[in-house]
Every structure is written in C-alpha cells, then in structure tokens.
Amino acid sequence: MTMDLFEQLPPKLWVEPLCEGAVVLRRFASAPATDLLVGIEQVAEQAPFRQMQTPGGHTMSVAMTCCGPWGWVTDAKGYRYQQNDPLSGELWPSMPASFQALAAEAAGMAGYGSFEPDSCLVNRYSPGAKMGLHQDKNEEDFDQPIVSVSLGTPVSFQFGGLRRGDRPQRVPLEHGDVVVWGGPARLRYHGVLTLKHAEHPLTGSNRYNLTFRRARS
Ligand code: MD3
Ligand code: FE
C-alpha cells in the first residue's frame, strides 16, 4: 500500500538525456537555489552586471558578470577570457565554494570525473533578452565539459548541431535545471530564445544562468 502511494509521488529530480554527451539534470539545483542567488548577489557587489559589446559593435541584451580566476569578456577587440574585470581592473571575485561543489557534482553525475572549473559566467536575462546561436570555443581544452545552471523564470533553449545551419531543437529550461555538455555535444551550436514576461518568487522577472567552464588546461 505505502509502496503504491510512493510510486505515485512526482519525482523531485530526474535525468533527461538530450543526445550523446549532453544531459539535463532536472531540478538538480532547486535545493541550493537560494544559496546560489546569494552568491550571485555577492559576486555582483564586487563585479556588477554589465551589458558587454560584441566585436561587431552591438550591445548584448544579456547582462553578465563573472567569478573565478578567468572571466569571459567581449568587446570591440573580440571574445576572450581574462583575469581582470575590465570595469575595475581588479581580479574577478572568487568562485563561491557552493558554486564549485555543485558544478563538480553535476559533472560527476554525467560521467565527468574531476571537473574543476576555473570560470563561472553569470548571465542575467530580463524580459526581452536573448542569446543568438553560437558555439563555446574560447576554451583551451574541448575535452572538458560545460555545466549550466538555470535559475528563475523559464526559457526555451535552442540546441543545434555542429553546423550553424543545423535546425535546433527546443529544450525548455526551468528553475533548478542543470545541463552538462561534453564529448560530442561540446561544440554544438546553442542559444536562448527571447525571455518572456513571467514571475518567479526568488528572482522576480529575471532568469539567471551560471555557466561553468575550464578556460585553461
Ligand atoms: C550546448 N549561455 O553563456 S548555457 C553562454 O542560458 C550560454 O545563458 C546559455 O550559452 C544561457 O555561452 C546557455 C548552456 C550551454 C553552454 C555550453 C554549451 C549549452 C551548450 C556547449 C555546447 C552545447
Ligand atoms: Fe554558450
């Protein structure tokens, strides 16, 4: 009797393979979400969110900041990692221990044994913000996976192929979802569709994404 009831309870966490090398750990970051959001606030006190310029001269709709030894930046000179925040000249804030631990745990679940990210990009989407299809290829070692954590309002993620023209599939990403991308999925094109108006009790109308990467071997 109790077993029947147990089996009817909705699962708190579940795993959805997307393709070879990519897996969604649904709600994996739900329990630590408030800690992660406090971590984001602390990072942003030292290195405020800013809308960076693309090399083509456009202003990104996504506001970004970074933590960890290497921060990802873009400006007229191009896309790259650097150790100093261009706004202050100071080193990026250190990566909160809770961020590191979650990223390593998620990578482990996906079969990547000793993931030690040296970079965490924090993206903040407000309604209307989006990110066009692109590849993440500013890192030295494509054998290292990428871990992405979604917090706040839901969005439709675009997951394409190895060529820009490959038709992307749409993957809904919600608060607490963690995606691990590695192996044959590591260089696939991806992007984020325009964020719609919605409210989340912890983030208001915003969506945050933490992207953990190993920038340097
Ligand atoms: C698929 N950010 O900052 S991370 C980015 O939601 C970025 O803010 C998105 O793409 C966001 O570069 C999504 C998910 C992601 C990251 C790397 C990938 C998906 C990937 C590498 C290969 C394939
Ligand atoms: Fe990306």
Between CA 94 and CA 84 the distance in angstroms is: 12
107-133: pLDDT as tens digits: 999 999 999 999 999 999 999 999 999
Residue 1 confidence (pLDDT) = 56
Ligand 2 centroid–CA 2 distance in Å is: 45
Residue 9 confidence (pLDDT) = 79
Residue 151 confidence (pLDDT) = 98
Burial class (CB in 10 A: 0-12, 13-18, 19+), 53: middle
Residue 6 confidence (pLDDT) = 66
Between CA 145 and CA 180 the distance in angstroms is: 7
Query: Which residue's structure tokens are 């989006």?
Result: 130
154-165: pLDDT as tens digits: 999 999 999 999
The count of other CB atoms within 10 Å of the CB of residue 57 is: 8
Between CA 165 and CA 151 the distance in angstroms is: 29
CB 178 within 8 A of CB 29: yes
With cut-offs at 50, 70 and 90, classify the pLDDT of residue 10. confident
167 φ/ψ angles, rounded to the nearest 5 degrees: -60, 120
Instruction: Give the residues surrounding ligand 1 with Cβ less than 6 Å away.
Output: 121, 123, 131, 136, 146, 148, 179, 181, 185-186, 188, 190, 192, 209, 211
pLDDT beyond 80 at 64: yes
pLDDT beyond 90 at 4: no
170-193: pLDDT as tens digits: 999 999 999 999 999 999 999 999
CB 171 within 8 A of CB 24: yes
CB 182 within 8 A of CB 15: no
pLDDT beyond 80 at 5: no
Q: How many CA atoms lie within 13 A of 146 on its CB side?
A: 23
With cut-offs at 50, 70 and 90, classify the pLDDT of residue 57. very high
Ligand 2 centroid–CA 186 distance in Å is: 10
Task: Tell me what percent of the residues of the chain surpass a pLDDT of 90.
Answer: 94
Q: What value does the mean pLDDT take over residues 16-24?
A: 96
Domains recognised in the chain with CATH numbers: 14-213 (2.60.120.590)
Q: What value does the mean pLDDT take over residues 24-40?
A: 98
Q: What value does the mean pLDDT take over residues 58-84?
A: 98
CB 75 within 8 A of CB 87: no
Go through 149-163 and write b for each residue having 16 or more CB atoms within 10 A of its CB, e for each that does not.
Answer: bbbbbbbebbbbeee
